[in-house]
């Protein structure tokens, strides 16, 4: 069952806040150190602007958001060390699908702001980009470490059935060139699905081919070594894949994470041991 990592990781309590009045603290007051990065009062205030549905920030809601911020920075430390990055084009592809799925005109600033005003957890397009970056980096790290066993993917398919060797080579060249254009942002993945994909079934669903895993159904379409590439690609990162009946440009748009609290907590404990989480002040309940 897919769950948000920001929710799953609450099974390990990293930060316990008893009582805190932010009016008593300066914006540069340091709340937590996470590895080489800090969370200040100002960071927290900016982060919570997107949570308009929360009328009153009690101990529990503050603690939940701080834990989410801590987890973001734990993964950010790890991604930086392993040189894992997320490009602007990956974020743009994520945004295109995110807002299209919600029938929001993502190229219309007024429509976007109206959406942000009515929905958590983003306050603005800048806030959306920031939180999206953290999320995509987190997933790419987990994928690289083989923690993600299933993904939901889209594909642009180029059939090679009943073609001569010469035509197969030309088809491969065309697929590789298109993959490079999509990767560099010169071509929209979802526009390319409609223009170039030769799989009529997935084409009608914007290229959606469902779940890819190391199971029998996926192996009918992809070789085992190619499935591994797909599972390790993260989200919204288009890759060229050689399939059993042709070539694919595959892009994952969602992931399925093991529904196992111990498995999840072990990942977080490993990160928090490597990148120390230090609470900078001891806050006790007011008497």
For position 63, what pLDDT does the model report?
Answer: 85
Q: State residue 24's pLDDT score.
A: 75
**ω into residue 198 within 30 of 0, thus cis?**
no
Nearest to 70 by CA among 273, 264, 283, 277: 277
Q: Residues 90-140: pLDDT tens digits?
A: 999 999 999 999 999 989 999 999 999 999 999 999 999 999 999 999 999
Q: At what angle do helices 261-274 and 59-81 cross, to 10 degrees?
A: 70
Q: Is the dihedral of CA 102, 105, 107, 108 positive or negative?
A: negative
Among 3-7, 162-166, 205-209, 228-232, the range scoring the smallest mean pLDDT is: 3-7
CA 231 – CA 106 distance, rounded (Å): 28
Task: Give the tens place of pLDDT for each residue, 170-194.
Answer: 999 999 999 999 999 899 999 999 9
Give percent of the chain above pLDDT 90.
78
Complete edge-to-edge strand list for the sheet that includes strand 277-279: 37-40, 30-34, 277-279
Alpha-carbon torsion (256, 261, 262, 265), positive or negative: positive
Instruction: Sketch out the chain's domains with CATH numbers.
Output: 5-145+260-279 (1.10.4030), 150-256 (3.10.50.40)
pTM of the model: 0.87
What pLDDT was estimated at residue 264? Answer: 86
Looking at residues 241-251, what average pLDDT do you find? 97
pLDDT tens digits for range 209-245: 999 999 999 999 999 999 999 999 999 999 999 999 9
State residue 97's pLDDT score: 92
Between CA 190 and CA 234 the distance in angstroms is 18
Number of helices (H) and strands (E), helices first, in the chain?
A: 12, 7
Q: Is the dihedral of CA 256, 259, 261, 267 positive or negative?
A: negative
Q: What pLDDT digit, counting tens, does each position of 23-78 carry?
A: 678 899 999 999 999 999 999 999 999 999 988 888 888 888 999 999 999 999 99
DSSP-H helix ranges across 27-104: 41-47, 59-81, 88-101
E-state strands within the chain: 30-34, 37-40, 150-159, 208-213, 239-242, 246-256, 277-279
Tell me how far the alpha carbon of residue 191 is from its chain's centroid: 21
Strands 277-279 and 30-34: antiparallel
């Amino acid at each position: 069952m897919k769950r948000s990592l920001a929710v799953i990781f609450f099974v390990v309590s990293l930060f316990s806040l008893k009582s805190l009045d932010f009016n008593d603290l300066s914006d540069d007051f340091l709340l937590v150190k996470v590895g080489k990065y800090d969370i200040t009062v100002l960071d927290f205030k900016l982060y919570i602007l997107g949570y308009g549905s929360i009328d009153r920030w009690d101990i529990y809601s503050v603690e939940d958001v701080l834990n989410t911020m801590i987890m973001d920075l734990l993964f950010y430390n790890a991604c930086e060390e392993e040189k894992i990055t997320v490009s602007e084009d990956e974020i743009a592809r994520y945004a295109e699908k995110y807002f299209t799925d919600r029938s929001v005109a993502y190229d219309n600033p007024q429509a976007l702001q109206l959406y942000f005003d009515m929905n958590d957890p983003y306050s603005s397009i800048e806030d959306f980009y920031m939180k999206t970056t953290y999320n995509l980096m987190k997933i790419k790290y987990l994928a690289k470490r083989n923690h993600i066993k299933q993904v939901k993917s889209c594909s642009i398919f180029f059939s090679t059935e009943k073609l001569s060797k010469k035509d197969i080579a030309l088809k491969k060249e065309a697929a590789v060139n298109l993959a490079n254009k999509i990767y560099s942002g010169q071509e929209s993945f979802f526009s390319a699905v409609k223009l170039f994909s030769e799989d009529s079934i997935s084409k009608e669903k914007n290229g959606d081919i469902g779940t890819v895993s190391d199971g029998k159904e996926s192996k009918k379409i992809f070789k085992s070594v190619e499935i591994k590439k797909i599972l390790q690609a993260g989200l919204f990162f288009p890759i060229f894949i050689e399939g059993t009946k042709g070539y694919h440009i595959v892009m994952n748009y969602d992931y399925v994470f093991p529904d196992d609290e111990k498995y999840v907590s072990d990942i977080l404990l490993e990160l928090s041991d490597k990148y120390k989480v230090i609470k900078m002040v001891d806050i006790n309940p007011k008497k």
